[in-house]
């Protein structure tokens, strides 16, 4: 019997106003919502949209200082630019496609051209307040979820010109959100690096850069961790900084018109191609692409007219030319021509640096050839191991026959849980969302791979199968899951396995960590319940609170392993209310020093750290490493 079709007539057609549309489809404007655990979650896009407007004022030559204050629930941004014309304050934050950048030549190399960003922040905030000061007069307006609630009269003011915006993200949309300081600090630093002469005061700390991308790479690397002094090249509308390190992978920071583009785009692809071409031509050798780019650390910034991005959140550049003019130079040629000329000149003037680059390339070449035979055998073993049946319980996103573009969009929601043992993987497998969540089951404790070469990844069966499951053997371009989640028991053995996996990723696939794909799964330590209510508690403090709420003598269960949690219960912890701790590398963290400290020789410093960070759980009469 055919299914009855719903009625489709004039009443089926609806027109939403701008607030309703933004609130109904926030992902179109700010990407994914999230809770703040991921660097690309919506709450960081809200912050960026407001600061972007202040940056544009600075680019126009107005206001060399921006003040940013962010607490757990409120964001305040104050610039010292010209201020919004007082008669248009309300329109600029509440009328879609309204702004002052459309006809300005100076704003052709701006990011925020579509007049949407501030309005999206307004619509998605439970409280939004805008103040504009211009030439001794101040105008204030307040909103709730995009609706004007207070239209204050214009009053005299002795404050300097500029705009102040205060907003509180709507917690009915951004559920259980929290700001991670490291993400915000990286965001603020990026603004400073791309805008020499600008001072940003963030939560009372001052951020300023004099040398642009040179400062960025200096901040991101340790002198001991790079093979030669950073090469810094600047031209009209382009700036590049390059060096090589000692680790595996490629590390890039790309920008367009002062906008950080973590997903790269046409400019980053052009740079990756251009660096290979320039190196080959300088040395007159056909080096393998991987040998040139292995361990490279680089930053590239360009300014182009009216950039086109692949999404409203502007994380990936789609423009193929540097201006809309039909005769415009391509982004690829622009970067390639600049790098060919400037890098060639630099290397001829700095033969010592040229020699160090050559040594690094030759080292990569030797290592690649050394593992070539092992790699072939390892790939054959992975096929024979029947990975997708024995080790990996995949999700339907990767098992479907949908086209490539659809799969790429779905991948943003995909998660791989890395578990230990059959019982834990069994619980997660039964509880997971089969559409987007996959499970990889480890057998025993992984090898401590600290200080080893990539040869061990192919020789060790567990590591080899894990890299095949993720599809990261040749870099992140083929990464099959957006979120890679280490899911181990909250006991000493579980913590040890977690540490060994972190060592594996940091040692051989640091790009995965830097790009914000790696997480730790938080699971409850206790279940506290009576006949009426149940609480799942993630700490001793939460347990005590639950006991106080329930009163009497509630039943308390201590979960010692993931396998002890039933699939029905587990579904609550890996669904909408999932708690993930992102693995974040501080901007000043050296992976080499980090791994040496925690996984190297057992020094007195490390012994002291372990002793100082032990917590005695008296009621369990056991020691648990925190």
What residues have CB less than 8 Å from 594, skipping those under 6 apart?
506
Q: What band does 477 get if pLDDT is binned at 50, 70 and 90?
A: confident
Task: Indicate if the pLDDT at residue 312 is higher than 80.
Answer: no
Beta bridge partners of 534: 529
Higher-pLDDT residue of 90, 378:
90
Cα(595)–Cα(513) distance, rounded to whole angstroms? 14
Higher-pLDDT residue of 128, 441:
128
Residue with tokens 């039943």: 555
Task: Indicate if the pLDDT at residue 367 is higher than 80.
Answer: yes
> According to the 3-state scheme, what is the secondary structure of 205-241?
EEECCCCCHHHHHHHHCCHHHECCCCEEEEECCEEEE
Task: Indicate if the pLDDT at residue 498 is higher than 70.
Answer: yes
Q: What band does 625 get if pLDDT is binned at 50, 70 and 90?
A: very low
- φ and ψ of 534, to 5 deg: -130, 135
Q: What pLDDT score was predicted for residue 622?
A: 38
Higher-pLDDT residue of 546, 587:
546
Task: Indicate if the pLDDT at residue 615 is higher than 60.
Answer: no
pLDDT above 70 covers what percent of the chain? Answer: 88
Residue with tokens 């594996």: 504
Q: What pLDDT score was predicted for residue 600?
A: 77
Q: Give the Cβ contact number of residue 119 at 10 Å.
A: 26
Q: 532, 476, 506: which is closest to 584 by C-alpha? A: 506
pLDDT above 90 covers what percent of the chain? Answer: 43
Q: Are 569 and 563 in contact (CB under 8 A)?
A: no
Task: Indicate if the pLDDT at residue 616 is higher than 50.
Answer: no
Dihedral sign, Cα of residue 382, residue 386, residue 389, residue 395: positive
- Residue-wise pLDDT for 528-543, tens only, equals 999 899 998 888 899 9
Q: What pLDDT score was predicted for residue 623?
A: 30
Task: Indicate if the pLDDT at residue 494 is higher than 90.
Answer: no
Task: Indicate if the pLDDT at residue 262 is higher than 50.
Answer: yes
Q: What pLDDT score was predicted for residue 127?
A: 96
Q: What pLDDT score was predicted for residue 620?
A: 36
Q: Residues 368-381: what's their mean pLDDT? A: 83
Strand residues in 324-422 grouped as ranges (E) = 392-393, 415-420
Q: What band does 294 get if pLDDT is binned at 50, 70 and 90?
A: very high
Q: 249, 240, 561, 619: which is closest to 426 by C-alpha? A: 561
Higher-pLDDT residue of 569, 215:
215
Q: What pLDDT score was predicted for residue 621?
A: 35
DSSP class of 150? E
Q: What pLDDT score was predicted for residue 307?
A: 86
Q: Residues 323-330: what's their mean pLDDT? A: 88
Q: Which of 117-126, 394-403, 470-479 has the lowest mean pLDDT?
A: 394-403
Q: What pLDDT score was predicted for residue 184?
A: 93
Q: What pLDDT score was predicted for residue 420?
A: 83
Task: Indicate if the pLDDT at residue 113 is higher than 50.
Answer: no
Q: What pLDDT score was predicted for residue 406?
A: 55
Cα(314)–Cα(249) distance, rounded to whole angstroms? 25
Q: What pLDDT score was predicted for residue 14?
A: 63
Report the range out of 213-222, 336-345, 603-612 with the highest average pLDDT: 336-345
What residues have CB less than 8 Å from 7, skipping those under 6 apart?
none
Higher-pLDDT residue of 53, 275:
275
**Count of H-run helices and E-run strands, the chain:** 23, 25
Higher-pLDDT residue of 562, 69:
69
Q: What pLDDT score was predicted for residue 10?
A: 65
Task: Indicate if the pLDDT at residue 5 is higher than 70.
Answer: no
- Residue-wise pLDDT for 516-526, tens only, equals 899 999 888 89
Q: What pLDDT score was predicted for residue 144?
A: 95
Q: Which of 44-48, 73-77, 92-96, 358-362 has the lowest mean pLDDT?
A: 92-96
Q: 441, 476, 480: which is closest to 462 by C-alpha? A: 441
Q: Which of 71-75, 241-245, 322-326 has the lowest mean pLDDT?
A: 322-326
Ordered domains of the chain (ranges, CATH): 18-207 (3.30.565.10), 213-367 (3.30.230.10), 385-523+559-625 (3.40.50.670)
Q: Please provide the average confidence, as pLDDT, over all residues in the chain.
A: 85
Task: Indicate if the pLDDT at residue 605 is higher than 80.
Answer: no
Q: Residues 584-610: what's their mean pLDDT? A: 75
> According to the 3-state scheme, what is the secondary structure of 33-93?
CCCCCCCCCHHHHHHHHHHHHHHHHHHCCCCCEEEEEECCCCEEEEECCCCCCHHHHHHHH
Q: What pLDDT score was predicted for residue 131?
A: 96
Q: What pLDDT score was predicted for residue 389?
A: 58
């Amino acid at each position: 019997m055919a299914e009855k079709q719903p009625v489709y007539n004039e009443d089926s057609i609806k027109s939403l106003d701008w607030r309703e549309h933004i609130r109904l489809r926030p992902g179109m404007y700010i990407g994914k919502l999230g809770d703040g655990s991921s660097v690309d979650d919506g709450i960081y896009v809200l912050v960026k949209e407001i600061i972007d407007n202040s940056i544009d004022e600075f680019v126009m030559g107005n206001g060399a200082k921006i003040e940013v204050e962010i607490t757990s629930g409120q964001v305040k941004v104050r610039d010292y630019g010209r201020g919004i014309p007082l008669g248009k304050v309300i329109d600029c934050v509440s009328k879609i496609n309204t702004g002052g950048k459309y006809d300005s030549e100076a704003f052709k190399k701006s990011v925020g051209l579509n007049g949407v960003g501030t309005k999206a922040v307004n619509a998605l905030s439970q409280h939004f307040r805008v103040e504009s000061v211009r030439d001794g007069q101040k105008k204030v307006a307040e909103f709730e979820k995009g609706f004007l609630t207070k239209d204050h009269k214009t009053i005299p003011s002795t404050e300097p010109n500029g705009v102040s915006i205060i907003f509180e993200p709507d917690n009915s949309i951004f559920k259980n959100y929290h700001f991670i300081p490291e993400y915000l600090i990286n965001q603020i630093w990026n603004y400073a690096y791309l805008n020499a002469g600008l001072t940003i005061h963030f939560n009372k700390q001052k951020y300023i850069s004099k040398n642009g991308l040179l400062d960025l790479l200096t901040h991101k690397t340790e002198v001991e961790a790079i093979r030669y002094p950073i090469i810094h090249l600047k031209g009209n509308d382009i700036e590049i900084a390059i060096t090589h390190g000692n680790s595996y992978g490629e590390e890039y920071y790309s920008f367009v018109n002062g906008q950080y583009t973590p997903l790269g785009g046409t400019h980053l692809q052009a740079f990756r191609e251009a660096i290979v071409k320039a190196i080959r031509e300088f040395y007159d050798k056909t080096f393998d692409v991987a040998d040139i780019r292995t361990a490279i650390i680089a930053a590239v910034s360009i300014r182009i007219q009216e950039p086109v991005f692949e999404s409203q959140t502007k994380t990936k550049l789609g423009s193929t030319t540097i201006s809309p003019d039909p005769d415009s130079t391509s982004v690829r040629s622009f970067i390639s021509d600049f790098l060919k000329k400037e890098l060639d000149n630099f290397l001829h003037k700095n033969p010592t640096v040229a020699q160090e680059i050559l040594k690094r390339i030759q080292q990569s070449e030797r290592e690649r050839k050394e593992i070539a035979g092992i790699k072939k055998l390892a790939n054959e073993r992975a096929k024979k191991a029947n990975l997708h049946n024995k080790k990996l319980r995949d999700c339907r996103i990767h098992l479907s026959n949908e086209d490539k573009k659809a799969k790429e969009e779905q991948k943003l929601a995909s998660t791989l849980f890395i578990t230990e043992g059959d019982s834990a993987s069994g619980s997660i497998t039964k509880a997971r969302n089969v559409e987007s969540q996959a499970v990889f089951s480890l057998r025993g404790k992984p090898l401590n791979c600290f200080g080893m070469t990539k040869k061990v990844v192919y020789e060790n069966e567990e590591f080899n199968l894990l890299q095949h499951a993720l599809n990261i053997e040749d870099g992140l371009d083929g990464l099959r899951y957006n979120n890679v989640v280490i899911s181990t028991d909250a006991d000493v053995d579980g913590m040890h396995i977690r540490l060994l996996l972190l060592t594996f990723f940091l040692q051989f696939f640091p790009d995965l960590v830097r790009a914000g794909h790696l997480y730790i799964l938080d699971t409850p330590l206790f279940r506290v319940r009576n006949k009426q209510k149940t609480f799942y508690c993630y700490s001793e403090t939460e347990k005590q609170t639950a006991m106080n709420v329930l009163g009497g003598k509630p039943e308390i269960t201590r979960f010692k392993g993931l396998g002890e949690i039933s699939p029905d219960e587990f579904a609550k912890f890996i669904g909408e209310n999932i708690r993930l701790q992102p693995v974040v590398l501080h901007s000043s963290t050296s992976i080499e020093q980090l791994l040496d400290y925690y996984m190297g020789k057992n020094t007195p410093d490390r012994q002291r750290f372990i002793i100082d960070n032990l917590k005695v759980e008296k009621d369990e009469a056991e020691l648990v490493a925190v």
